[in-house]
């Protein structure tokens, strides 16, 4: 028994080598994601990124068998509901007319057109995109075939290959500040991702925000619970971004479309000009002064990542799912349709 422990690492190494030798060279190309097949593979230090085309307007970049990003191969149709205003934070800037982010941090390259959508703003000076995988970045760059490709050449965009949490921690030490942080990381329920959505990480991100700056996450009930605990406020514009403000939150009761955001507000797609037919008379604002009991979930923390393996916990009724989208629950009593004014 005393000699068994030293043998364990050698046994694990032997098993790993045998598995590697027995695996066919085209193993990853033989994989499928639903009805779609892998057409390209990017291997490197962070893992294996597989490229999976779809019949829609995007190509999936699948990292270690979890959908990590996408590359746009054709501009989506308006019927896809991918209008730029849903991605470029213009709804926030309309109800917060003084908020004009100059420096933006995006954690996870994700759908690169979210980044492109923000390049239409004349006041944006710098967008730092942090992604842990050079393989995913290279795949997105190669397979993006639309104007979104400009994120790789625009001098305002800096792409950094690094772990998102480590980057934030080092940026705090350097004294960096950002006006807007956008968490566009892999789904938090994938193994290894939830530490980028914990209360501890939200607190670290808050240290990077300027006074009056915002953190943006997906509108999940779990993020609402943890973000509100960290910031004491939450604002939702009705679609993709849930916002938490570093400071007191008192948004306007009207939405004001100034010249600086007009093109972005009226754009149908990232990189396209304004379309006056897209003028909206009202826009929804959902303000949370607390987390309603029916939406509240258990805290997602570093030592208790509730997002991971939540299906099993939910199956046994241990707690409410943290991945419920806000548009799938009734928020009418917290929502107001405010008038939109065009300068």
pLDDT in tens, 147-171: 899 999 999 999 999 999 999 999 9
In the predicted model, is pLDDT for residue 187 greater than 70? no
In the predicted model, is pLDDT for residue 1 greater than 70? no
Q: Binning pLDDT at 50, 70 and 90, where does residue 307 land?
A: confident
In the predicted model, is pLDDT for residue 236 greater than 90? yes
Q: What residue ranges do the domains of the chain occupy?
A: 78-342
What is each CA distance from 270 to 76, 126, 239, in whole angstroms? 10, 17, 16
- Separation between Cα atoms, residue 117 and residue 121, nearest integer Å: 8
Of the ranges 78-92, 197-211, 264-278, which is most confident? 197-211
Better pLDDT: 82 or 92? 92
Query: How confident is the model at residue 105, as a pLDDT?
Result: 98
Q: Is 124 exposed, middle or buried (0-12, 13-18, 19+ CB in 10 A)?
A: buried
Of the ranges 32-36, 244-248, 295-299, which is most confident? 244-248
- Looking at residues 272-295, what average pLDDT do you find? 88
- Looking at residues 259-286, what average pLDDT do you find? 87
Query: How confident is the model at residue 68, as a pLDDT?
Result: 73
Contacts of 190 by beta carbon, 8 Å cutoff, 6+ apart: 66, 308
Q: Is the dihedral of CA 302, 308, 311, 316 positive or negative?
A: negative
Task: Identify whether the C-beta of residue 185 lies closer than 8 Å to the C-beta of residue 205.
Answer: no
Angle between helices 221-231 and 199-208 (to 10 degrees): 50
Q: Is 114 helix (H, G, I), strand (E, B) or coil?
A: helix
Instruction: Indicate the average pLDDT of the chain.
Output: 84
In the predicted model, is pLDDT for residue 26 greater than 60? no
Give domain 78-342's CATH number out of 3.40.605.10, 3.40.50.1000, 3.40.50.150, 3.40.50.10490.
3.40.50.150
In the predicted model, is pLDDT for residue 276 greater than 70? yes
Task: Identify whether the C-beta of residue 238 lies closer than 8 Å to the C-beta of residue 284.
Answer: yes
Task: Identify whether the C-beta of residue 271 lies closer than 8 Å to the C-beta of residue 116.
Answer: yes
Among the residue ranges 3-7, 118-122, 200-204, the one predicted with the least confidence is 3-7
Cβ neighbour number for residue 263 with a 10 Å cutoff: 18
Q: How many helices (H) does the chain have, and how many strands (E)?
A: 9, 16
Query: How confident is the model at residue 49, as a pLDDT?
Result: 86
- Separation between Cα atoms, residue 56 and residue 37, nearest integer Å: 14
In the predicted model, is pLDDT for residue 189 greater than 70? no
Among the residue ranges 46-55, 65-74, 262-271, 288-297, the one predicted with the least confidence is 65-74
In the predicted model, is pLDDT for residue 107 greater than 70? yes
Q: Binning pLDDT at 50, 70 and 90, where does residue 13 land?
A: low
């Amino acid at each position: 028994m005393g000699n068994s422990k030293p043998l364990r690492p050698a046994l694990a190494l032997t098993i790993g080598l045998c598995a590697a030798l027995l695996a066919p060279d085209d193993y990853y190309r033989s994989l499928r994601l639903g009805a779609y097949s892998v057409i390209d593979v990017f291997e490197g230090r962070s893992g294996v990124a597989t490229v999976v085309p779809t019949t829609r307007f995007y190509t999936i970049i699948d990292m270690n068998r979890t959908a990590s990003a996408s590359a746009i191969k054709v501009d989506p149709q308006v019927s896809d509901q991918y209008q730029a205003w849903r991605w470029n934070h213009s709804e926030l800037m309309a109800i917060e007319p003084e908020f004009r982010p100059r420096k933006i941090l995006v954690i996870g390259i994700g759908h690169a057109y979210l980044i492109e959508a923000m390049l239409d703003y004349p006041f944006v000076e710098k967008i730092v995109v942090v992604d842990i995988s050079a393989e995913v970045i290279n795949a997105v760059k190669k397979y993006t075939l639309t104007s979104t490709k400009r994120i790789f050449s625009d001098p305002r965009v800096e792409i950094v290959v690094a772990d998102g949490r480590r980057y934030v921690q080092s940026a705090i030490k350097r004294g960096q500040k950002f006006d807007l942080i956008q968490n566009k990381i892999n789904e938090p329920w994938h193994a290894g991702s939830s530490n980028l959505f914990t209360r501890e990480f939200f607190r670290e991100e808050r240290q990077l925000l300027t006074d009056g700056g915002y953190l943006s996450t997906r509108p999940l009930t779990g993020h609402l619970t943890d973000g509100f605990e960290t910031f004491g406020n939450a604002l939702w514009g009705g679609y993709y971004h849930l916002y938490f403000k570093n400071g007191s939150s008192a948004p306007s009761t009207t939405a004001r479309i100034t010249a600086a955001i007009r093109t972005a507000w009226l754009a149908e797609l990232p990189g396209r000009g304004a379309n006056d037919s897209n003028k909206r008379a009202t826009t929804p604002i959902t303000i949370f002064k607390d987390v309603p009991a029916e939406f509240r979930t258990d805290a997602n923390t570093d030592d208790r990542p509730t997002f991971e393996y939540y299906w099993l916990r939910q199956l046994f009724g241990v707690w409410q799912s943290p991945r419920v989208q806000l548009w799938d629950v009734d928020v009418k009593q917290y929502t107001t349709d405010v008038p939109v004014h065009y300068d």
